């Protein structure tokens, strides 16, 4: 789809109807308390809408309706091909409303319209479609039991699941989790991040227009303590799938331990290294990957390349190329199609990122921050112990650490509490494979930056991940549980029961 002009996007923005109610049992409704909270456009500070501020009583009601729906089988026992048809209809409705979703997402999050139009919306549609297609293609198993028995291993939907989402990819993270959860037949209570509730609320409406039965999907806007915690502690929620900070992720483990030992899958923070060795080829291409990895989505990305670990033999050449590429990234109005770096998601987050800029002594590029916007910034660090090398900044800030050998590069890369993604640039095939094996990360890319695609599992080692994976068929493991059914086939007359 060709991009529009800034004026055309502004005209669409002016016509948008923002959803404001919680979505429970097939329709929008106010929070039971009647309370609301504002959702802002971080690029302008303008209030877009007042949204229902849900709390524990809304969680109870949504879970009750989700449980009723699960138990009566209106979705969980619907024929898989019919579940698939409903989900495919949802993707068609999203495609029909793609432009509206892209503009809504950009206004609510500060993300660029360029990314919303070319990545977030099309990839969310593709992701839901991919999982929809699996609904009638995943088979159960029969075990190698004796001739007198048959043992079936069934994969059943786990039940009522709570999906707790971050604000950096509101629609895409929704699709990563909602696609496999609904394809598996689960009922879903979804909590968007309080900064970015709008597109999730709109998707719930489109899903019901597509034929999703009432009760199967609830969307509850509100704060972490008011909605996330009661969901995490709920005795009738079977599983939580969370994406966000490591600190909040760990809370969900405590909530589960204190309540019903529900399953918990956590996709958390990262401090992702990109290693560039002295034998890396085509440094200009390497530079383009590093810049994209560090500054795409304002660096508000769990897989962002935030540490460049570079061999000193190529450092100066590489840095010249990286700064040249980074200067091309236009910062500013998210609705202008040429913008590549929009606004940070909130004033609070902007203040946090500015606090890191204040700790940077040796800024090689950028460093300017104004009214919620931060320039792509490159900082040289003396070593890997500096706070900019250790803490997740979640802003467009790339730290550079110089090393003198392959072993030092790998050791520096692994010297972190996180283990989500890593990149390794080298022309030496043995080093590439050895390095990829030695790096403690869920995804390692060689001579590129990326997260894989919808077919490959995504999640972290160490404090970046727990309990399962998003994406690929592995995502379905989160939302299903195994059941074994043994059948005795022996002839009654021949068989003595001990």
Ligand X SMILES: NC(=O)C1=CN([C@@H]2O[C@H](COP(=O)(O)OP(=O)(O)OC[C@H]3O[C@@H](n4cnc5c(N)ncnc54)[C@H](O)[C@@H]3O)[C@@H](O)[C@H]2O)C=CC1
* Residue of 271, 288, 262, 392 whose CA lies nearest to 340: 288
Interface with ligand BAL (CB under 6 A), residue total: 9
Q: Which is nearer to ligand BAL, 100 or 470 (CB)?
A: 470
| Cross-strand partners of 263 | 239
- Does the footprint of ligand BAL cover residue 384 (CB under 6 A)? no
- Does the footprint of ligand BAL cover residue 243 (CB under 6 A)? yes
Work out how close the CB of 256 gets to ligand X at its nearest, in angstroms, rounded to a whole number: 12
Q: Which is nearer to ligand X, 41 or 306 (CB)?
A: 306
- Does the footprint of ligand BAL cover residue 55 (CB under 6 A)? no
Phi-psi region of 381 (alpha: psi -120 to 50; beta: other; left: phi over 0): beta
Q: Site residues for ligand BAL, window 167-186 (CB under 6 A)? A: 168-169, 173
> CA-based angle 346:352:355, to the nearest 5?
140
Q: Which is nearer to ligand X, 117 or 392 (CB)?
A: 392
Q: Which is nearer to ligand BAL, 403 or 454 (CB)?
A: 454
Active-site pick, 267, 375, 392, 402: 267
Chosen from ligand X, ligand BAL, none, partner binding at 251 (C-beta under 5 to 8 Å by type): ligand X
Tally of CB atoms within 10 A around 219:
31
Chosen from ligand BAL, ligand X, none, partner binding at 228 (C-beta under 5 to 8 Å by type): ligand X
* Residue of 373, 331, 296, 268 whose CA lies nearest to 120: 296
Tally of CB atoms within 10 A around 217:
30
* Residue of 68, 25, 34, 40 whose CA lies nearest to 54: 34
Chosen from ligand BAL, ligand X, none, partner binding at 303 (C-beta under 5 to 8 Å by type): ligand BAL
Do the Cβ atoms of 340 and 376 come closer than 8 Å? no
Work out how close the CB of 345 gets to ligand X at its nearest, in angstroms, rounded to a whole number: 8
Do the Cβ atoms of 369 and 350 come closer than 8 Å? yes
Beta strands (DSSP E) in 213-312 are 217-219, 239-243, 263-267, 272-276, 305-311
Work out how close the CB of 362 gets to ligand X at its nearest, in angstroms, rounded to a whole number: 23
267: annotated active-site residue = yes
Do the Cβ atoms of 300 and 494 come closer than 8 Å? no
**Helix residue ranges per DSSP H, 307-423:** 315-327, 347-358, 387-390, 406-414
Q: Which is nearer to ligand X, 256 or 454 (CB)?
A: 256
Work out how close the CB of 408 gets to ligand BAL at its nearest, in angstroms, rounded to a whole number: 28
Do the Cβ atoms of 180 and 478 come closer than 8 Å? yes
Work out how close the CB of 169 gets to ligand BAL at its nearest, in angstroms, rounded to a whole number: 5
Q: Which residue is nearest to ligand BAL (CB)?
A: 302
Interface ranges with ligand X (CB under 6 A):
164-168, 191, 193-194, 223-225, 228-229, 232, 243-245, 248, 251, 268-269, 302, 349, 352, 392, 394
- Does the footprint of ligand BAL cover residue 166 (CB under 6 A)? yes
Chosen from ligand BAL, ligand X, none, partner binding at 451 (C-beta under 5 to 8 Å by type): ligand BAL
Q: Which is nearer to ligand X, 213 or 224 (CB)?
A: 224
Residue recorded with tokens 């699709």: 175
Length of the chain: 498
Question: In angstroms, rounded to a whole number, what is the distance separating the alpha carbons of residues 177 and 198?
Answer: 17
Q: Site residues for ligand BAL, window 257-316 (CB under 6 A)? A: 301-303
Which residues are known catalytic residues?
267
Binding site for ligand BAL (CB under 6 A): 166, 168-169, 173, 243, 301-303, 451
């Amino acid at each position: 789809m060709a991009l529009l002009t800034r004026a055309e996007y502004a005209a669409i923005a002016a016509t948008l109807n923002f959803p404001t109610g919680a979505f429970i049992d097939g329709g929008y409704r106010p929070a039971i308390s009647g309370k609301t909270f504002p959702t802002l456009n971080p690029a302008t500070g303008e209030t877009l809408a007042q949204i229902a501020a849900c709390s524990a009583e809304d969680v109870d009601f949504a879970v009750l309706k989700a449980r009723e729906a699960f138990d009566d089988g209106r979705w969980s026992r619907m024929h898989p091909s019919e579940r698939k048809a409903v989900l495919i209809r949802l993707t068609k409705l999203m495609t029909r409303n793609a432009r509206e979703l892209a503009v809504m997402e950009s206004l609510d999050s500060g993300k660029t319209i360029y990314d919303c139009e070319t990545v977030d919306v099309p990839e969310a549609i593709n992701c839901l479609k991919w999982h929809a297609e699996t609904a009638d293609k995943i088979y159960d198993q029969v075990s190698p039991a004796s001739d007198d028995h048959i043992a079936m291993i069934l994969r059943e939907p786990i039940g009522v699941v709570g999906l707790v989402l971050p604000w950096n990819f509101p629609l895409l993270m929704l699709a990563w989790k909602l696609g496999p959860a609904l394809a598996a037949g689960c009922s879903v209570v979804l909590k968007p991040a309080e900064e970015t509730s709008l597109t999730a609320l709109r998707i719930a409406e489109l899903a019901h227009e597509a034929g999703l039965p009432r009760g199967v999907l609830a969307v509850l806007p509100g704060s972490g303590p008011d909605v996330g915690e009661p969901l995490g502690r709920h005795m009738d929620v079977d599983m939580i799938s969370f994406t966000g900070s490591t600190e909040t992720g760990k809370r969900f483990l405590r909530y589960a331990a204190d309540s019903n030992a529900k399953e918990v899958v956590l996709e958390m923070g990262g401090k992702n290294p990109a290693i560039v060795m002295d034998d890396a080829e085509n440094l200009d291409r390497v530079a383009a990957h590093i810049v994209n990895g560090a500054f795409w989505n304002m660096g508000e990305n769990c897989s962002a390349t935030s540490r460049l670990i570079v061999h000193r033999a190529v450092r100066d050449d590489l840095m010249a190329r990286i700064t040249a590429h980074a200067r091309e990234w236009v910062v500013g109005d998210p609705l202008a199609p040429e913008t590549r770096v929009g606004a940070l998601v909130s004033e609070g987050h902007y203040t946090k990122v500015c606090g890191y800029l204040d700790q940077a002594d040796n800024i090689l590029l950028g460093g300017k921050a104004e009214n919620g916007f931060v320039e792509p910034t490159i900082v040289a660090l003396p070593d890997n112990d500096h706070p900019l090398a250790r803490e997740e900044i979640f802003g467009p800030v790339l730290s550079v650490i110089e090393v003198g050998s392959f072993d030092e590069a790998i050791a520096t890369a692994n010297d972190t509490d996180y283990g989500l993604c890593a990149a390794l640039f080298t022309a030496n095939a043995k080093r590439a494979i050895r390095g990829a094996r030695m790096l403690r990360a869920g995804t390692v890319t060689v001579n590129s930056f990326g997260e894989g695609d919808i077919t490959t599992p995504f999640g972290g080692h160490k404090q970046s991940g727990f309990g399962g994976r998003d994406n690929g068929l592995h995502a379905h493991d989160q939302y299903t549980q195994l059941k074994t059914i043994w059948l005795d086939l022996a002839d009654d007359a021949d068989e003595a029961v001990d």
